[in-house]
């Protein structure tokens, strides 16, 4: 696309002695430039200031009780490194591991006696993470999940006998449980996501696992940065996107002083400046894909998926 603001093409006001046809051409050009700028700003606002997509309506998702999450745990232990990055390339090449993933998700897709409490919550978290991984594996190699068609909005996954989207699992089912800690457990395939953990989430240890995830997430200096000397907290945009969820947990200050690294908690009880870090939507791939995914590419992909 031609850069209309390049040297020699900057819009100027017409001189008083220009012929009417010239002034009219310049006027039309200025109006076109204004329309382009306005459209760009609207699109940028939609894409760059929103971390989440608006989900369609869905009924409560009921998953079968007592699903064995061991196969998913074993896959995570095999293909996720210590930093939470995924070896998508090796995983996709392994027909056996792809079969294990499909078989595990087949159990999540089936109807059964409805799970309740932590059993349901753990299964829904695992379903979100496993389905996100499968979505990426189907499209791999890519540099961001946003290069795929409507990755979060489209109802393409079967869970508990119901066709649902990733957004519906997260926003209409997990968030409605009132536990802000799920935001440290759900991994949307981006480099700025909380680290993907192994083993998978289990009903019997769910509370302990969620607590641990919160601590691990806030301890990652590439995802959240604390500077006691300058009294600054540069934190994940997730805290901004889902502020109402964290308010239910007592508010941002309460959450940070509880889960941030111990050496930073004292200054977080006082006055400090907060900044939300730009979210890196590059793929959480340990093979290097996604490391050069730019905000401009995110803008382009977001426009395609509107």
Q: Break the chain into its structural domains and give their ranges.
A: 1-49, 70-216+286-301, 224-276
Report the distance separating Cα 206 and Cα 193, nearest Å.
19
Spans of the chain, pLDDT less than 50: 1-18, 20, 23, 27, 38-39, 41-57
Report the distance separating Cα 195 and Cα 284, nearest Å.
9
**pLDDT value at residue 4:** 35
User: How open is the CA angle 45-289-191, to the nearest 5 degrees?
Assistant: 50
Residues shown for the chain:
306
Q: Of 217, 110, 105, which is closest to residue 162 (Cα–Cα)?
A: 110
Report the distance separating Cα 253 and Cα 233, nearest Å.
11
Report the distance separating Cα 30 and Cα 236, nearest Å.
39
DSSP 285: B
HSE, side-chain direction, 13 A CA sphere, residue 288: 0
**pLDDT value at residue 53:** 44
Q: Decide: 155 and 148 in contact? Cβ < 8 Å.
A: no
DSSP 172: I
Which structure tokens are listed for 294? 């730019």
Q: Decide: 47 and 294 in contact? Cβ < 8 Å.
A: no
Residue in the block written with tokens 């939507």:
281
Report the distance separating Cα 25 and Cα 33, nearest Å.
12
Report the distance separating Cα 119 and Cα 125, nearest Å.
10
Report the distance separating Cα 173 and Cα 124, nearest Å.
8
Q: Which long-range contacts (CB under 8 A, 24 or more apart) does 164-168 make?
A: 164/58, 164/61, 165/55, 165/56, 165/58, 166/128, 166/131, 166/132, 166/135, 167/52, 167/53, 167/54, 167/55, 167/56, 168/55, 168/56, 168/58, 168/61
**pLDDT value at residue 11:** 34
Q: Decide: 190 and 283 in contact? Cβ < 8 Å.
A: yes
Q: Which long-range contacts (CB under 8 A, 24 or more apart) does 30-38 make?
A: 33/4, 36/4
Report helix, strand or coil for 97.
Answer: helix
**pLDDT value at residue 50:** 46
């Amino acid at each position: 696309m031609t850069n209309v603001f390049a040297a020699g093409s900057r819009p100027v006001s017409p001189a008083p002695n220009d012929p009417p046809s010239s002034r009219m051409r310049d006027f039309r050009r200025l109006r076109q430039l204004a329309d382009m700028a306005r459209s760009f700003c609207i699109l940028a606002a939609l894409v760059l200031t929103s971390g989440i997509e608006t989900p369609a309506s869905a009924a409560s998702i009921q998953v079968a009780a007592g699903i064995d999450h061991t196969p998913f745990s074993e896959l995570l232990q095999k293909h996720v490194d210590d930093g939470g990055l995924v070896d998508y390339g090796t995983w996709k090449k392994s027909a056996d591991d792809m079969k294990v993933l499909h078989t595990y998700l087949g159990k999540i897709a089936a109807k059964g006696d409805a799970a309740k409490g932590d059993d349901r919550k753990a299964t829904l978290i695992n379903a979100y993470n496993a389905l996100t991984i499968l979505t990426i594996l189907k499209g791999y190699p890519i540099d961001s999940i946003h290069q795929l068609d409507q990755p979060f909005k489209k109802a393409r996954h079967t869970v508990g006998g119901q066709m649902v989207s990733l957004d519906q699992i997260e926003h209409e089912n997990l968030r409605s449980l009132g536990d802000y800690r799920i935001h440290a457990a759900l991994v949307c395939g981006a480099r700025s996501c909380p680290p993907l953990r192994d083993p998978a989430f289990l009903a019997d240890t769910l509370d302990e696992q969620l607590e641990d995830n919160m601590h691990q997430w806030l301890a990652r200096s590439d995802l959240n940065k604390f500077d006691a000397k300058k009294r600054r907290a540069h934190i994940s945009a997730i805290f901004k996107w889902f502020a109402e969820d964290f308010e239910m947990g007592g508010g941002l200050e309460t959450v940070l002083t509880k889960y941030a690294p111990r050496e930073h908690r004292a200054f977080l009880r006082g006055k400090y400046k907060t900044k939300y870090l730009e979210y890196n939507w590059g793929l959480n791939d340990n093979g290097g894909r996604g490391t050069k995914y730019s905000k401009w590419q995110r803008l382009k992909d977001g426009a395609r998926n509107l």
